[in-house]
């Protein structure tokens, strides 16, 4: 009688802190000592800040609590902040970051009961969308610090408090730095109002209108430390009539943004996306 193969347990680990020698070796050796296999590892250093994302698999049973405790202890010993992501978690906690445009947030709220995840918190750079959060009975947290370092320190506290698995930027008009982005590799989804890499920046529709673009599109992508250059999840577009005004183009675009972001979030939560060599593949 043929035995069923043992299902692999996959664990994602992120390490962020001041750059120093021996960090990669310390964490990879820890995995090997636990009879784990390293599936992926990548690291970056920017202005003295070190970031590493490591994915490991284990074919046998593993004491998750003991593993997490020992890994956090290793991080403290080395002066590094460690985050652990267990893919076995079937129901993900979601944080939605917003500014003042409501269309993407509304699409997520309308679909929240159908998502394979829970919208645990809504974070705003201003209070414009707080009434939407209150109506949906979801906590709203204001993070309006102008200094990005202070703002991100606050954001990190919030994501830890709510045990966030996925961050969704629903027209969030702030640029994330590596100090935050590296903590959520391939777990921050953004919607951009153009077919990247064309027309980058906040005024994509105006640029498209001025250039007489015949097709306008939107792009849902994972966020990396490179602005608007992360792996593309999904794109969609619509045709522009020569008689369309800028307001008509914006209205069509905002509807498409909401639909496309929601589709990307659903695909991520359903485990249908795989990132390899900066490309997203659908399972």
**Would you please indicate which residues are annotated as catalytic (active-site) residues?**
228
Cis amide linkage into residue 197, ω under 30° from 0: yes
Those residues with Cβ within 8 angstroms of residue 143's Cβ, 6 or more apart along the chain or in another chain: 123, 124, 125, 151, 154, 155, 158
- Answer whether 17's CB lies under 8 Å from 74's CB: no
Strand partners, 190: 169, 221
Closest CA to 108 of 96, 120, 100, 121: 96
Instruction: Tell me which H or E stretch contains 84.
Output: strand 81-86
Distance CA 249, CA 269 (A): 30
* Number of CB atoms found within 10 A of residue 189's CB: 25
Q: How many residues does the chain have?
A: 283
Q: Helix 64-78 crosses helix 23-33 at what angle (to 10 degrees)?
A: 160
Residue 169 φ/ψ, nearest 5 degrees: -95, 100
Q: Where would I find the beta strands (DSSP E) of the chain?
A: 9-18, 37-46, 49-58, 81-86, 92-98, 117-124, 140-142, 166-169, 188-192, 215-222, 232-239, 273-276, 279-282
Query: What SS3 state is found at 69?
Result: helix
Neighbours of 141 (CB within 10 A): 18
């Amino acid at each position: 009688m043929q035995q069923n193969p043992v299902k692999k347990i996959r664990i994602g680990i992120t390490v962020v802190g001041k750059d120093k020698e021996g960090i990669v070796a310390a964490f990879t050796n820890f995995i090997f000592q636990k009879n784990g296999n390293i599936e992926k590892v990548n690291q970056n250093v920017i202005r003295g800040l070190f970031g590493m994302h490591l994915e490991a698999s284990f074919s046998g049973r593993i004491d998750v609590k003991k593993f997490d405790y020992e890994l956090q202890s290793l991080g403290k010993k080395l002066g590094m902040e460690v985050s652990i992501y267990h893919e076995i978690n079937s129901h993900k906690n979601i944080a939605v970051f917003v500014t003042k445009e409501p269309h993407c947030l509304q699409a997520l709220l309308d679909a929240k009961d159908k998502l394979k995840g829970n919208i645990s918190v809504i974070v705003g750079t201003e209070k414009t969308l707080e009434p939407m959060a209150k109506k949906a009975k979801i906590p709203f947290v204001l993070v309006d610090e102008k200094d990005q370092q202070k703002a991100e320190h606050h954001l990190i506290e919030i994501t830890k408090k709510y045990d966030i698995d996925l961050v969704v930027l629903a027209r969030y008009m702030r640029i994330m730095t590596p100090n935050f982005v590296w903590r959520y590799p391939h777990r921050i989804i953004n919607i951009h109002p153009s077919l990247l890499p064309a027309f980058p920046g906040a005024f994509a529709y105006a640029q498209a209108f001025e250039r007489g673009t015949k097709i306008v599109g939107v792009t849902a992508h994972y966020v990396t430390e490179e602005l608007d250059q992360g792996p593309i999840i999904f794109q969609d577009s619509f045709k522009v009539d020569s008689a369309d005004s800028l307001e008509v183009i914006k209205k069509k675009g905002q509807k498409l943004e909401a639909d496309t972001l929601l589709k990307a979030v659903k695909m991520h939560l359903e485990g249908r996306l795989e990132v390899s060599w900066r490309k997203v593949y659908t399972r």
